[in-house]
Structure 1
Amino acid sequence: MKTLLVPYYEHPAEQPDAWNALVAAAPRLYGVVVNPASGPGTSPDPSFAVVAGRLRAAGVRVLGYADTDYGRRPHADVVRDLLCHRDWYGADGAFLDQVSGEADALPHYRRIEVAARAAGARTLVLNHGAHPDPAYAELGDLLVTFEGPWDAYRSLAVPLWTADHPRERFCHLVYAAPSEARAEAAVHCVVPGDGAHPWGTLPHDVEPEL
């Protein structure tokens, strides 16, 4: 079952073994977030283009990263990032980060969704980091309803409205987690990394070959 959504924010030229391990884990991957420079960067990065091609060839969704700054980032800037991910890295999906969960931001995100689909995003992941207004389930294929450390995750409360949707619609991203930690969501990523850059580590059960 494809259960792992991996936001691995390290350069392929610097961590080739880790990227090789991700490609090898393809049968278990829901998708991998491609994020060369908190977005696509200012020009194509050949190393990311190569690894994105390898992931696609292995049947893995390639999700282009775009920060939305909780609705404050202009629509045109977000869409530009998604188009660059498509054109430079062959991204077939989008990972929208720092997505607002408030109902009054829904029109903004509906516009982004329409533009993302028009740009070829077959999969749209919305990273709220917490449970949003239920109406966001109409926009995204996958909602990230938790992003944070393991200590906070252990006391996560799940609202009743989530039971109206399949478990496969929700994702939890957990860091600073011990090796025995397990996520409750059908789609997840649990990593040992901590501090300002936890997503520079692979999930516990995806290990580079030594």
Structure 2
Amino acid sequence: MFRSVWLLLALLFPLTLPAQEEGTAAARRLRNRQFESAAQQRTGLLIPLYIYPADIETHPAYNRLIDLKRRYETVPFRVIVNPASGPGTRVDPNYTRAIDRLIGAGCTVIGYVSTDYAKRPAEEIQEDIERWVAFYPRVHGLFFDEMNYEDRDAAVDFQLSLKEAGERSGFWPIVANPGTDTPGRFFAAEAADCFVVHEGETWPEERRIQGDRPGGYGDFPPWTRAVLVHSTTRFDKNSLHVVRRYARWVYVTEDPYRPGREGEENPWDTLSRHMEAMCEELAR
């Protein structure tokens, strides 16, 4: 009897161990394929479209964006929608229709979530994630704004927990916005699929956007980074081409950001007049 048991174990373990190893190898192969696929993708636009979609069938900003996406179909569009500093407390049919139209044009639609630099309770953020699922189930990903970018494990763990919560609900991509230089430990932990490493009224300098510094993000691929530029009346294609070497997602608008000035406190409440120029350059 004992001999039979040992024979059975000898038969089982050689089968089980290689299967486990093959599972690990398969995961590595998949990750490598995903890396190569991402490495070959074009630079795209990360568009904060914080514009209410009234009369969506004739809305000039939405229709212009949709028309540009169809004309420049090879340029990826990630469009952030923001009903009420998040999904709000009820379904807005205008946003439902706007999301449908954006998806119909080939845009990836991302839902806005405020984190208030980790001051907002995690339970409230989880509620927003669940509302995005319930209210607007066609939304693809999430945009965690005001990310806490302190160079501490606790900050990384908090952001990683948000990403994992989004992933459990089926969201991808997960974009996080600290709006400034982000410590490399966030990238190493894969606390988001993409980080906004610059949000400001000027283009970032090349030496800064490279991220090649101790504790920086230079060892991580460009599709994990985004750049947002506001208050820029002149479109500078040279600056665009410098940035795209290091950040795969970009957007520039002339809309000003002037805190305390009425009508100038939100640079993302209009669609950039530079949209077509950006599309032309990125489609080359």
Give the TM-score taking structure 1 as reference length: 0.90
Shift of 1:201: 2.1
Which has the higher relative contact order, 1 or 2, with Cα contacts under 8 A spaced 6 or more apart? 1
Partner of 1:97: 145
Higher strand share: 1
User: What is residue 206 of structure 1 aligned with on the other side?
Assistant: 275
Two-structure CA RMSD over aligned residues (Å)? 2.0
Shift in CA distance, 165/10, structure 1 to aligned 2, threshold 3 Å: same
CA distance 1:165–1:134, shift in 2 (3 Å): same
Deviates more, 1:196-205 or 1:33-42: 196-205
Relative distance call for 1:177 and 1:154 in structure 2 (3 A) is: farther
Q: Secondary structure at the match of 2:54?
A: coil
Task: Give the CA deviation at 1:58.
Answer: 2.4
The one-letter code matched in structure 1 to 2:267 is P
Structure 2 residue corresponding to 1:130, chosen from 137, 161, 180:
180
Distance 1:18 1:72 in 2: 33
Aligned equivalents of 1:2 and 1:186: distance in 2? Answer: 5
Match of 2:251 among 189, 198, 201: 189
Residues 60 and 2 of structure 1: is their aligned pair in 2 closer, same or farther, counting only changes over 3 Å?
farther
Moved segments of 4+, more than 3 Å: 152-156
Q: AA paired with 2:115?
A: T
> 1:75 and 2:122 equivalent?
yes
Q: Is residue 171–residue 186 contact of structure 1 (8 Å, CA) maintained in 2?
A: yes
2: CA distance, partners of 1:179 / 1:45: 36
SS in 1 for 2:117: helix
Aligned to 1:65: 112
Report % sequence identity.
30
- In structure 2, do the counterparts of structure 1 residues 169 and 117 end up closer, same or farther at CA, with 3 Å as the change threshold? same
1:140-159 equivalences in 2 (<5 Å): 140-150=192-202, 153=204, 157-158=208-209, 159=211
Aligned to 2:89: 42
2:134 matched to which residue of 1?
87
Note if 1:121 corresponds to 2:163: no
User: What whole-Å deviation, never above 9, does each CA across 1:23-82 have from its counterpart, x for those lacking one?
Assistant: 223333431001011111111111111010111222221111000011111111112112
Q: Paired residue for 1:6?
A: 47
How far 1:86 sits from its partner (Å)? 2.5
Q: Is residue 20 of structure 2 the alignment partner of residue 20 of structure 1?
A: no
Indicate if the aligned counterparts of 2:160 and 2:192 stay in contact, CA closer than 8 A.
Answer: no
In the alignment, is the contact (CA less than 8 A) between 1:100 and 1:132 conserved in 2?
no
CA distance in 1, matches of 2:76, 2:199: 18
Change (3 A) 1:71 1:156: farther
TM-score normalised over the length of structure 2? 0.67
- Judged with a 3 Å threshold, the aligned counterparts in structure 2 of structure 1 residues 92 and 154 are, in CA distance, closer, same or farther, namely same
What displacement does 1:107 show? 1.6
Unaligned runs of at least 5 residues, structure 2: 1-41, 259-264, 277-284
After the TM superposition, which of the residue ranges 7-16 and 100-109 deviates more from structure 2? 7-16
Q: How many residues align?
A: 206
Give the CA deviation at 1:18: 0.3
Change (3 A) 1:202 1:29: farther
Q: Does residue 228 of structure 2 align to residue 173 of structure 1?
A: yes
Q: Which has the higher helix share?
A: 2
Does 2:149 align with 1:108?
no
The one-letter code sitting in structure 2 at the alignment partner of 1:41 is G
SS of residue in 2 equivalent to 1:200: coil
